[in-house]
Amino acid sequence: MTKQVQQLDRVIIRFAGDSGDGMQLTGDRFTSETAQFGNDLSTLPNFPAEIRAPAGTLPGVSSFQLHFADHDILTPGDAPNVLVAMNPAALKANVADLPRGADIIANTDEFTKRNLAKVGYAGNPLEDESLAEWRVHAVPLTSLTVRALEGFDVSKKDAERAKNMFALGLLSWLYHRPTEGTIKFLEAKFAKKPEIAKANIAAFQAGWNYGETTESFSVSYEVKPASLPPGVYRNISGNQALAYGLIAASVQSGLPLFLGSYPITPASDILHELSKHKRFGVRTFQAEDEIAGVGAALGAAFGGSLGVTTTSGPGVALKAETVGLAVTTELPLIVVDVQRAGPSTGMPTKTEQTDLLMAMFGRNGESPVPVLAAATPSDCFHMAVEAARIALKYRTPVMLLSDGYLANGSEPWRVPDPAELPDISIAFTTEPNGADGAYLPFKRDPETLARPWAVPGTAGLEHRIGGIEKADGTGNISYDPDNHDRMVRLRQAKIDGIDVPDLVVDDPDGDARVLVLGWGSTYGPIAAAVRRARRSGGKVAQAHLRHLNPLPGNTGDVLRSYDKVLLPEINLGQLAMLLRARFLVDVISYNRVRGLPFKAEELAAVIQDVIESD
């Protein structure tokens, strides 16, 4: 039948179901189709930490939200236009987020009395008036899938599992997504189980055909490709981008990449990704614990490699002593902290920005380290390269902060031309540098204050290494008070002198009185909120910090240039405290620690309140 096609400029879809319903895979495939089509996009996977919570319960609900558009977008969206609910728990957990008039596609086969009772529904919401403010499409996804696969040599259980592919096919029809990529993906994924592959492809095609023929959907929608700067693009998550950035840094520096890591959510995917790239000289070591991981990475740095360790907040706490060792031995080391909700185990699959103070000060003694923070999933690539540049140039451990929102979220990434990447190559010391032909391991570069880096085994350059304080220049063990004071101040001066770009301010008319400042993953929500405030006539400027220690040299001047500085953080005001202490500026904090990113609408209202306040 001929159906109407309606043009939209953007759509927000949320797939939700039980942890075993394949919602992350479904969302990922829809995202890949959307990226292939050429839309700008942003995603927000959301899933429980438990391996498998009780089926059909609220704690077991897993969801995947995708925002795609024909123009540039900055966030996964505040509220979905479409909710695909695979069971009553998925509906109940997500319905409060739906705006009036949104579409609900509900799998009626799972709305049994038993499943309804599990989540506290007294009756079936698909049959009463409780969902009257939304457009409900009741679709028996499970039974339609089983019926479509009757001719295949698969069990009923395997047939039912393919219902997510039926749903994906339906949504692909509804929004005119390409299908070839998903078919190739299924063929590859189930290459060793060809009948399962055929069944999933059939379920996917059956979902598409259902949309084409059913009267439940009289309209399909089209979102045209976005106009993006010329280049080669691919969809990329923050963890993938960070892994690729580390590989690029290895190539640009000419050093082999060594990753010493212990698996921890949400950082494990960096280890998984890097382990695939041995052909680039990458060596990955899955250690027995966090301490062994960072110790191996520091040992690799001592041996002349680009040493990296990846973790989350609990792992940073365990690695602190070895990071302090890297500070005093003055060796390059990259420590990646993909932040998650704490304290302790906290909510391992949820996001936060609560490790900033730990990154800055979480070691004994005066042990300063540079601290960087990525702003978007694709920015994780560039900040990984920047972390390597600083670590190698200044011979220092570097803390690189990401978080769960960036790590698991994805967006289009323009693949850079290698010529665009900085040359961060270094030269090892190969000859004695003392006046008497001796090797002075702590004789510093007058510009960077970095000490020389000699590969162990280089003839004539034998020297002591370890955590006990060393004498300036010679590196001999020293308990001299004046030497210790000098070494402490030199290490601090080295960090303070790191060259970082100035803070860039977006103030189109130059007459804003309010500055919205951010760091890390708040970039997207803040930028989207600033756009909304400006459309409403608000005069507001925006700036975003990616270098947190040392801060850009013009930070104080920027802060003092505005009457009010608003700083949203997914913590209780950690950066705000540092800025108030450093610059004596009364920063206005706006803080939420809910395990979720900010919503643009929420921040836009806060910005407006600050603009209007006396």
Q: Please report which confidence band the pLDDT of residue 52 belongs to, taking 50, 70 and 90 as the band edges.
A: confident
**pTM (two decimals):** 0.96
What's the pLDDT tens digit per position in 516-555?
999 999 999 999 999 999 999 999 999 999 999 999 999 9
Beta strands in 474-545 (DSSP E): 505-506, 514-519, 540-545
Longest dimension (CA), the chain: 91
Domains of the chain: 4-223 (3.40.920.10), 234-420 (3.40.50.970), 427-499 (no CATH), 505-612 (3.40.50.920)
97 φ/ψ angles, rounded to the nearest 5 degrees: -85, -10
Q: Using CA atoms, how far apart are residues 26 and 85, in angstroms rounded to an integer?
A: 13
**Tokens, residue 176:** 């005119």
Count the neighbouring beta carbons within 10 Å of the beta carbon of residue 323.
22
For the chain, the average pLDDT equals: 96
What is the C-alpha end-to-end distance of the chain, expressed in Å?
60
What's the pLDDT tens digit per position in 368-424?
999 999 999 999 999 999 999 999 999 999 999 999 999 999 999 999 999 999 999
As a whole number of Å, the CA-based R_g of the chain is 27
The count of residues in the chain is: 614
What CA dihedral angle connects 234, 24, 313 and 336, to 10 degrees? -20
Q: CA quadruple 134, 135, 138, 142: dihedral positive or negative?
A: negative
CB-based burial of residue 316 (10 Å sphere; 0-12 exposed, 13-18 middle, 19+ buried)? buried
Q: Please report which confidence band the pLDDT of residue 51 belongs to, taking 50, 70 and 90 as the band edges.
A: confident
Q: Please report which confidence band the pLDDT of residue 1 belongs to, taking 50, 70 and 90 as the band edges.
A: low
b/e burial code for range 92-110 (CB count within 10 A of at least 16 → b): bbbbebbeeebbbbbbbbb
Strands 410-414 and 233-237: antiparallel
Q: Using CA atoms, how far apart are residues 495 and 422, in angstroms rounded to an integer?
A: 20
Asked if residue 76 lies in contact with residue 44, where contact means CB atoms within 8 angstroms, the answer is yes
Amino acid letter at 422? P
**Tokens, residue 305:** 């490699």
Q: Flag whether pLDDT at 94 surpasses 90.
A: yes
What's the pLDDT tens digit per position in 194-207?
999 999 999 999 99
What's the pLDDT tens digit per position in 567-578?
999 999 999 999
**Tokens, residue 505:** 């301010």
Asked if residue 24 lies in contact with residue 45, where contact means CB atoms within 8 angstroms, the answer is yes
Residue 86: its pLDDT value, please? 98
CB-side neighbour CA atoms (13 Å) of 111? 22
Q: CA quadruple 231, 232, 233, 237: dihedral positive or negative?
A: negative
